[in-house]
Amino acid sequence: MKFIHCADVHLDTPLQGLAQYEGAPVNEMRNATRRAFMKIVDAALAEQISFLIIAGDLYDVGLKSFETALFFNKQMSRLAAAGIDVYLLYGNHDAASKLIKQLRPPKNVRIFRVTEPQTFRVDQLHVALHGQSFATPAIVDDLATNYPSPIENYFNIGVLHTNLSGASEHANYAPCSFETLKAKGYQYWALGHVHNRQVLCTDPYIVYPGNIQGRHGKEQGEKGCELVTVSEAGVISIRTIFTSVLPWREIDVDVSDCCTADEVYDKVRLQIGTVIPPNDDRVSALRVRISGTTDAHSLINQNLENARAEVISIANECGNGGLWIERVQVATYPKLDKAMLLQRDDPIGEVLRTIAAIRADVPSLAKCESVAELQAKLPSEHMEGSEPVTIDDLALNKALDEAEALLLARLAATETL
């Protein structure tokens, strides 16, 4: 028996950050989640699987177009023609989406109910699938506790959209523990909600496949789904099927040993050249971070727009049009004796002492009324999405580091430090 386990499809989700940059690969990205989902359906047909599991967040919040649901139904009809059933569990995004109420899916799609756990039996395979969909977007109860006992002599699969053990980077929906899942006695837990692939346990298998297409710079690397094979003896093996249409990547170029801007960009060129795998014809989105304590600090910090343009030019040359630079961050620092500079009785010393005094009181500054007022005045587009702007201790310290580095770079152009 073989089945595919996927989750967090987020069909037609708006891929974030593209509108900010001229030259973004909008055409390649516009239908990225659809093309990634089609890869799953193609694999299901090629592998002749018995069934497909979608463990939550098929759709995305705010989508209203019938076209998204029509696309999904068309793909399900392809599976129906091959005799492949689909077991769909609604997650937090689905519960907030109007699409689940607009268009009924084909008959081969079985949807777990929202009122209580439900079991689907596949008697010819001796398989039982247990699950419960989200009734509302913010489920804070432990749904897994009420999942039924396993059916004897069946291969039992638990389908659950959950923040297992309360990972801080994800909304704490349907939280549960390892102990609860293990105690159920199922052979496989098909999880969703966490966007990074994780095989958390192999006895029983507890698996997050991750999402099928990265949507922004924090969702890096290859994304995919899991092809699960179960032998007649009940031995389980899993293999990832990669589905990313446009992978997001990041490199950190340490230029501590560079003395000139040319040396910096030569090193950037070398590292960018290793990013794209051979014979990969996809467009990749790349974040480049240039870091280190270097003699070239002032040269590349004097004009950050020029630094970005240099990196884009290198990427265009190395990537043959298949590499898009989403962000360039210059995080270098000059080779200076800061202790000595702090003692100087001139504008340089005064600037550094002022920054040091502010940094020492960042916790109080973050809580002051003026910062709260500034946070409240931020435009809504900066308060939402994958990287919302939050003026907290971390953000203020980062801003101070960047300001200090920039000021020293500018001063170094006219002063002897």
Give me the DSSP letters along 143-196. Answer: GGGGPPPPPTTSEEEEEEE--BTT-TTS---S-B-HHHHHHTT-SEEEEES-SS
- Residue 292 contacts residue 254 (beta carbons within 8 Å): yes
For the chain, domain boundaries: 2-242, 247-335, 337-417
Query: Which residue type sits at 251?
Result: I
What is the mean pLDDT for each group of 10 consecutive residues in the chain (417 residues)?
96 66 69 94 98 93 76 96 97 75 86 96 97 89 94 97 73 86 97 94 96 89 96 94 93 94 95 82 90 89 90 84 86 78 80 83 72 66 54 77 72 56
For position 256, what pLDDT does the model report? 94
CB 73 within 8 A of CB 103: yes
Inter-residue contact 276 to 285 (CB < 8 Å): no
Contact status, residue 264 vs residue 303, Cβ threshold 8 Å = no
Q: Number of H helices and number of E strands within the chain?
A: 13, 15
Give every CB contact of residue 243 below 8 A, 6+ residues apart in sequence: 36, 37, 39, 40, 212, 213, 223, 224, 225
Are 193 and 223 in contact, with CB atoms under 8 Å apart?
no
Mapped onto helix, strand or coil, the DSSP state of residue 291 is strand
Q: Taking the C-alpha atoms of 260, 262, 266 and 268 in order, what is their torsion angle to the nearest 10 degrees?
A: 70
Count Cβ atoms within 10 A of the Cβ of residue 6 and give its class: 0-12 exposed, 13-18 middle, 19 or more buried: buried
Given a contact cutoff of 8 angstroms between Cβ atoms, the answer to whether 225 and 53 are in contact is: no
CA distances from 200 to 151, 176, 204, 397 (A): 23, 14, 9, 35
Strand arrangement of the beta sheet that strand 236-242 belongs to: 109-111, 85-89, 51-55, 2-6, 224-230, 236-242
344's CB contacts (< 8 A; 6+ apart) are: none
Is the separation of the CB atoms in 335 and 295 below 8 Å?
yes
Q: Is 362 exposed, middle or buried (0-12, 13-18, 19+ CB in 10 A)?
A: middle
Q: How far does the chain reach from its first CA to its final CA, in angstroms?
A: 70
Q: Is the dihedral of CA 344, 348, 350, 355 positive or negative?
A: negative
Residue 81 is predicted with a pLDDT of 97
Q: According to the model, what pLDDT value does residue 316 have?
A: 86
- Cα angle: 370, vertex 372, 374; to 5 degrees: 70
How far is the C-alpha of 102 from the C-alpha of 391, rounded, in Å?
40
- 146, 174 in Cβ contact below 8 A? no
Instruction: Please list, residue by residue across 53-86, b when 16 or more beta carbons sit within 10 angstroms of its beta carbon and e when fewer do.
Output: bbbbbbbbeebeeeebbebbbebbeebbeeebbb
**CATH assignment, 2-242:** 3.60.21.10
pLDDT at position 336: 72
Listed in sequence order, the residues at least 6 apart from 172 whose beta carbon sits closer than 8 Å to its beta carbon are: 140, 163, 166
pLDDT at residue number 359: 81
| Rounded CA separation 285/62 (Å) | 25
* Edge-to-edge strand ranges of the sheet holding 118-122: 118-122, 127-131, 155-161, 188-192, 205-208, 198-202
What six digits make up the tokens of 241? 């099927």
CB 178 within 8 A of CB 166: no
